[in-house]
Amino acid sequence: MTSPQKLKDAATEFNTSSQYPVPKGWKGPVWKIKNDYPQPFSASAASGYEGLPLPDTSVEAPWMKIDFMKNPLEYALMVKEYCWDGNRSVDFVVQDNTVRQWYHAPWMHASANGREPLKGLTFERSIPAGEFASGQRSALQNWAIGFYNAPGASVFGGVWENPSLPVWNDNLKFPPGTVVFKLLLTTAKDEEVPTMKGSPAWRAVICPQPDPAHAPSNGAIRDDHDSPVRLIQVDWATVDERSPIGWVFGTFMYDSTLENITDPWDRLTSVGVMWGNDPQLDQAAVDAGEKPVQSWINPRAEELRKMLGGMRPSWGYNGRLNGPADNFISACSSCHGTAQSYDAPLVQSGQLVKNKWVPLNEKLTMTWFENVKAGETFSVRGALSADYSLQFTIGWTNYKTWWNTYDAQQKEKKTGSNKTTLLALPTRRVVFRRRDGAAEAEEKRMEKLLEQISVEDVPKRAGPTFTWEF
Ligand code: HEC
């Protein structure tokens, strides 16, 4: 029997927007999660959906009339328009959108990388010094927030019908009409990354970075004050059954050269669109001059990449699509294809040798670039598919970790120890006050403790495993 208190606490966690405190003296708005998800939609096309009728995609999703292989840019611009519609004018506070409903993914507050309090941003892969631009001497922290439209959020509604006791017992499949997008904001300065000039800023509580050349490896330690972060990338994904993987991915980058566009949130250049991983494109094929055919890279984005002169040899792995904040050894759909209930590293293994990527094993590498179909699993038989949703995967992992370590956390609350609490990162409501000299000893002590466990360890010890690798 689960204790009533545990169920109550689970519901409280579900409705928690951020576990990190609002900085002292902050007078602006704080972020609130929107999680009154719709119940699953019904669709003759997507089996297993009962409930509300699906939206008419010919009206609601006009990009479905566009052939994304022939006119990827047109498709991308229409999706972006839809994502901005009613959201841009309210600064992406989706609760205020009067055009249509958008939602946030559940349980993304509950980890070391979890949502900060002012804009709901999560800690993302950082860009190593020199990767994006030749003058980029700092490593860049990136912070992001994703939004699901109603068909997409209906999948969360199905799993979290009961906020205390979510049920995930079948492969997920997002219905047609699903659109997801994600805003990425960075600490890049104009002097180091010239394409960032004029980029719009949000205030957020990010991580201290005493050595500018090195970003923290996870988001566990937060500032006690707010800082600006600026728009660098806008990712989107749509369910589209014409795609071999059932999804189409695309991304935009902020582009200062579009200075005639007055709204800085519209100064976006499409980096590209992808609808598959080009499974045939192994190293031998690349060496023989073959190019991806399931990624379209915008020639203008190629010019920008070269102009910036960073170390990345392409946007994504061997010419596939990825964005400025992403690792060039992977690609949008190869990484998202790993979304499942357990044990799936996000990217291939290998190492950089003189700025050139050397895979550990070419055959193994190519397993990431198989075309996993929507609703199927990446690797482990018996795992459940999260249908390309990594926010679902992370939220679920956070929930499971919290659930499985609940008793230990309660005990430690009484004893004052925090070893398990550190593992169960959701309850680690610790903020380090870098500006407060008296807190330094405590900070050192916590850093030591953190060294003993990496974020990667957490899911291995409790709940389904999920490896944080970018
Ligand atoms: C190496 C892994 C990786 C790569 C490459 C990657 N992503 Fe993601 N993406 C993630 C993770 C992890 C999340 C969830 C965490 C978050 O949003 O903070 C995510 C979240 C998203 C979301 C929100 C919905 C969801 O699925 O969770 C969208 C949309 C998205 N990414 C699109 C893209 C696009 C477009 C690209 C390529 C330009 C891309 N991603 C490349 C790892 C990756």
Closest CA relative to residue 123, chosen from 325, 371, 348, 399: 325
Q: What percent of the chain has pLDDT over 90?
A: 69
* Average pLDDT score over residue span 165-183: 94
- Report residue 235 as tokens: 């990712």
- Report residue 20 as tokens: 């990190």
Question: Which residue ranges make up each domain of the chain?
Answer: 4-334+396-447
Ligand 1 midpoint to CA 163 (Å): 25
Atom 43 in ligand 1: which residue has the minimum CA distance? 335
Query: Looking at residue 50, what is its pLDDT?
Result: 58
Query: Looking at residue 381, what is its pLDDT?
Result: 59
Closest CA relative to residue 294, chosen from 334, 335, 328: 334
Instruction: Give CA torsion, residues 282, 320, 385, 367, to 10 deg.
Output: 10
Q: What is the DSSP string of 65-76?
A: GS-TTT-HHHHH
Quote the CA–CA distance of 36 and 156 in Å, as a whole number: 9
Taking a C-beta distance cutoff of 8 angstroms, is the pair 180, 152 a contact? yes
Of 237-241, 431-435, 445-449, highest mean pLDDT: 237-241
Atom 39 in ligand 1: which residue has the minimum CA distance? 332
pTM of the entire structure? 0.90
- Report residue 63 as tokens: 């990009």
- H helix runs in 194-298, sequence order: 283-287
Query: Looking at residue 38, what is its pLDDT?
Result: 92
Quote the CA–CA distance of 70 and 75 in Å, as a whole number: 9
Quote the CA–CA distance of 368 and 345 in Å, as a whole number: 9
Quote the CA–CA distance of 34 and 32 in Å, as a whole number: 6
Bridge partners (DSSP) of residue 127 are 140
* Average pLDDT score over residue span 172-193: 96
The β-bridge relationship of strands 295-297 and 350-353 is unpaired
DSSP letter (8 states) at residue 210: S
Ligand 1 midpoint to CA 322 (Å): 10
Ligand 1 midpoint to CA 305 (Å): 20
Taking a C-beta distance cutoff of 8 angstroms, is the pair 178, 151 a contact? yes
190 pLDDT higher than 80: yes
Give 287-332 pLDDT, tens digit per residue: 999 999 999 999 999 999 999 999 999 999 999 999 999 999 999 9
* Average pLDDT score over residue span 127-147: 97
**Cβ-count burial of 407 within 10 angstroms (0-12 exposed, 13-18 middle, 19+ buried)?**
exposed
Quote the CA–CA distance of 78 and 425 in Å, as a whole number: 39
- Return the number of other C-beta atoms located less than 10 Å from residue 210's C-beta: 7
Confidence label for 432 from pLDDT (cuts 50, 70 and 90): very low
Ligand 1 midpoint to CA 416 (Å): 37
Atom 41 in ligand 1: which residue has the minimum CA distance? 332
380 pLDDT higher than 90: no
Supply the mean pLDDT for the chain.
87
* Average pLDDT score over residue span 440-468: 43
Taking a C-beta distance cutoff of 8 angstroms, is the pair 444, 435 a contact? no
Atom 36 in ligand 1: which residue has the minimum CA distance? 332
Give 209-254 pLDDT, tens digit per residue: 989 999 998 888 899 999 999 999 999 999 999 999 999 999 999 9
Atom 13 in ligand 1: which residue has the minimum CA distance? 390
Give 21-65 pLDDT, tens digit per residue: 999 999 999 999 999 999 887 654 444 555 667 778 888 999 999
Query: Looking at residue 394, what is its pLDDT?
Result: 92
Query: Looking at residue 383, what is its pLDDT?
Result: 82
CA dihedral sign, ordered 85, 86, 90, 96: negative
- H helix runs in 345-462, sequence order: 362-368, 390-404, 406-415, 419-423, 440-452, 457-461
Ligand 1 midpoint to CA 336 (Å): 6
CA atoms within 13 A on the CB side of 11: 10
Confidence label for 444 from pLDDT (cuts 50, 70 and 90): low
Query: Looking at residue 422, what is its pLDDT?
Result: 47
What is the best residue among 390, 455, 456, 469 to mutate for testing ligand 1's pocket, by most ligand atoms within 8 Å of CB?
390
Taking a C-beta distance cutoff of 8 angstroms, is the pair 277, 373 a contact? no
Taking a C-beta distance cutoff of 8 angstroms, is the pair 174, 387 a contact? yes
Confidence label for 417 from pLDDT (cuts 50, 70 and 90): low
Quote the CA–CA distance of 118 and 164 in Å, as a whole number: 25
What is the best residue among 107, 333, 391, 392 to mutate for testing ligand 1's pocket, by most ligand atoms within 8 Å of CB?
391
DSSP letter (8 states) at residue 344: -
Question: Which residues have any ligand 1 atom within 6 Å of their CB?
Answer: 122, 124, 144, 146, 180-182, 235-237, 249-251, 321-323, 326-327, 330-332, 335-336, 346-347, 388-391, 394, 470
- Return the number of other C-beta atoms located less than 10 Å from residue 237's C-beta: 26
Confidence label for 413 from pLDDT (cuts 50, 70 and 90): confident
Ligand 1 midpoint to CA 236 (Å): 9
Quote the CA–CA distance of 199 and 252 in Å, as a whole number: 13
Counting every residue written for the chain, the total comes to 470
Query: Looking at residue 217, what is its pLDDT?
Result: 86
Query: Looking at residue 409, what is its pLDDT?
Result: 79
- Report residue 7 as tokens: 């169920």
122 pLDDT higher than 80: yes
Of 42-56, 148-162, 372-386, 391-405, highest mean pLDDT: 148-162
Q: 454: which residues sit within 8 A by CB, 6+ positions away?
A: 217, 218
- Report residue 243 as tokens: 């795609």
Q: 299: which residues sit within 8 A by CB, 6+ positions away?
A: none
Query: Looking at residue 1, what is its pLDDT?
Result: 81
Ligand 1 midpoint to CA 327 (Å): 11
The residue that leads in pLDDT, 444 or 469, is: 444
Min mean pLDDT across 16-25, 162-171, 292-301, 438-447 is at 438-447
125 pLDDT higher than 60: yes
DSSP letter (8 states) at residue 107: T
Ligand 1 atom closest to Cα of 468?
A: 12
Query: Looking at residue 454, what is its pLDDT?
Result: 41
Query: Looking at residue 58, what is its pLDDT?
Result: 84
* Average pLDDT score over residue span 82-107: 98
Ligand 1 midpoint to CA 332 (Å): 7
Label residues 116-150 b or e (16+ Cβ within 10 Å = b): bbbbbbbbbbbbbbbbbbeebebbbbbbbbbbbbb
Bridge partners (DSSP) of residue 186 are 142, 230
Ligand 1 midpoint to CA 370 (Å): 17
Confidence label for 416 from pLDDT (cuts 50, 70 and 90): low
Closest CA relative to residue 228, chosen from 195, 273, 187: 187
